[in-house]
Structure 1
Amino acid sequence: MKTGIIGGTGGMGRLFSEVFKKAGHEVLIAGRKTEITWEDAARLSDIVIISVPIRDTVSVIHEIAPLLGEHQLLADLTSLKISPVKAMLTSKARVIGFHPMFGPTAGTIRGQTIVATPARCNEDDLRFFKDLFEGQGARVTITTPDEHDRMMAVIQGLTHFKAILLAGTMRRLGISPADTESYISPVYRIETGIAGRLLAQNPELYADILCMNPQVPAVLEMCHKAFLEISGMVNKGDKDAFAREFLASRDWYGSFCELAQKETDLLIQEMVNW
């Protein structure tokens, strides 16, 4: 089996090239400066995978789509799924969208989640990828492009927005992480650590995740509504209303609260011992 990865010189492309090599595939790596061109990878491969920045994904797909035939399978590794899958369906190839729920610094897919959005493929195609990824220790979640993007508006959009908001608020207050070092608590350290981890990476990636998912604005509008309601309780000193809000969210989270406490206790203990 020959797999071509367009954008294979990037972090995620390199990680998945190793995944497919480990599965016994011949892998063709095509980047902007490689001897193998995008067109070469598209014409010569049984499986063609697009692994380029979100903002470039649809245009790259449209560039190589006319080169593909029904005997080939086209996939992508993008954080959004509706637009890339729609673009891939303009080809004659069989189509599956993928979203690795981790960054390339993970180094391996073991223990990680990969979301699959099959669009035009057969059961054998889906089983092939599930066996390949699960055989190397990953979990595969199957859904639709629409449901994927709806979930990513929360899992990525809301979460990343909250981290950026925390950092932006501290900056506007003139309080740096160094200023807080003598007062630090474990939970604060986790929250600022997540913000710092995000800020250490490429801003264009997070701009794309937040600005290019059409589901994100509605999520942030609800976040703003919740902020106004809860901050209103705090500003008024309405402890009863705050307690009702707190308990309503606890009920909504259900048994996850206990699990989260156990998991974060382990994380805190590791941080203390580090």
Structure 2
Amino acid sequence: MEDNFKIGIIGGKGKMGEFFARFFQKKGYYVLVSDKDTQLNNQSLLQEAKVILISVPMSVFPKVVEEIAEFTTPEHWILDVCSLKLEPYKIMKSLLKKPEVLATHPLFGPYETSLKGKTIAYFPIRGKNLLNWFIKVMSEDGLSLIKISPKKHDQIMGLVQVLNHFWLVLLGNIINHSGFRLEEIVSLATPSFLKQLEILQRLAYQDEKLYTKIQVDNPYGKRFRTLFYRECKKLIKALNSSEAQVFFETNFKEVKTLAKTLENLLKSSHPH
């Protein structure tokens, strides 16, 4: 490791910023942070550190990149951890002409105790040294690295993130308006429903501002919310008709086929 190989985190006092500060410190790296109330500002951070990780909300991301662009050099390595990738990719490619640049999205939150089996998406923008270092460092902790174009990433996140969060909030709303006490629901929950409740309970520790931004900022989210609504209407209409049994059995068989394929895929890609 180079003597001057320091890692600077812009937004280092945020939850993900703090997570990556701990992550790199455990690996023996010297970590510096800049944020609203730190002695170091972003310009000073670039003077001190070789690797710059930008961990800020999308609302201020363009301003931050524009601010640091003039202070970057060919020796700098810069990466982001935004949950959307197309706009950050365009911004960094346009403004950061000198340094090596990498777009990334950790597909996990800041409360994970182990990264083994977790996934991080990435797409190189400029340079190979940063990319090779990043892949090596992340692989050491058992992370699965997926290279994907920014546009395709955001399209899939419309399903994986936007619809998933939409469904969880909807489930919470239904439970709130069900007329049952939570204790009653939990006491009679089946194993599969308990798993859904365990996923729902994770929202207790999440940032509502971040989840709101993910829901409203992804331009592909509307497509999947509309698809959700359309499929709900179709299923409700069929179940309220005389063809309810035939329709549901046929639909269930189709989903069983998908489920079997999914079972095999999960066994191979996420082994226990």
Q: TM-score with structure 1 length normalisation?
A: 0.87
**1:252 aligned residue:** 258
Deviation at 1:164, TM superposition (A): 0.5
1:184 and 2:178 correspond:
no
Determine if contact 1:77/1:98 at 8 Å carries over to the other structure: yes
Deviation at 1:218, TM superposition (A): 0.7
Q: Counterpart of 1:190 in structure 2: which amino acid? A: K
Determine if contact 1:61/1:84 at 8 Å carries over to the other structure: no
Q: Counterpart of 2:48 in structure 1: which amino acid? A: L
1:11 and 2:15 correspond:
yes
**2:90 aligned residue:** 86
Separation in 2 of the partners of 1:27 and 1:96?
19
**2:110 aligned residue:** 104
Structure 1: gaps of 5 or more residues: 267-274
1:193 and 2:209 correspond:
no
Cα deviation per residue 1:164-198 (whole Å; 9 max; x = unaligned)?
01111222333342342332222222212222321
Q: TM-score with structure 2 length normalisation?
A: 0.87
**2:241 aligned residue:** 236
Deviation at 1:129, TM superposition (A): 0.7
Q: Counterpart of 1:58 in structure 2: which amino acid? A: P
**2:175 aligned residue:** 170
Deviation at 1:252, TM superposition (A): 2.9
Q: Which moved more, 1:18-27 or 1:66-75?
A: 18-27
Structure 2: gaps of 5 or more residues: none
1:141 and 2:146 correspond:
yes
**2:132 aligned residue:** 127
Separation in 1 of the partners of 2:139 and 2:265?
25
Cα deviation per residue 1:7-41 (whole Å; 9 max; x = unaligned)?
11222212212332344432211121111112211
Separation in 2 of the partners of 1:215 and 1:173?
31
Separation in 2 of the partners of 1:200 and 1:174?
25
Separation in 1 of the partners of 2:16 and 2:176?
31
Cα root mean square deviation, aligned: 2.2
Q: Counterpart of 1:166 in structure 2: which amino acid? A: L
Deviation at 1:235, TM superposition (A): 2.0
**Would you identify which runs of 4 or more consecutive aligned residues in structure 1 move more than 4 Å?**
258-261
Q: Counterpart of 1:232 in structure 2: which amino acid? A: K
**2:49 aligned residue:** 45
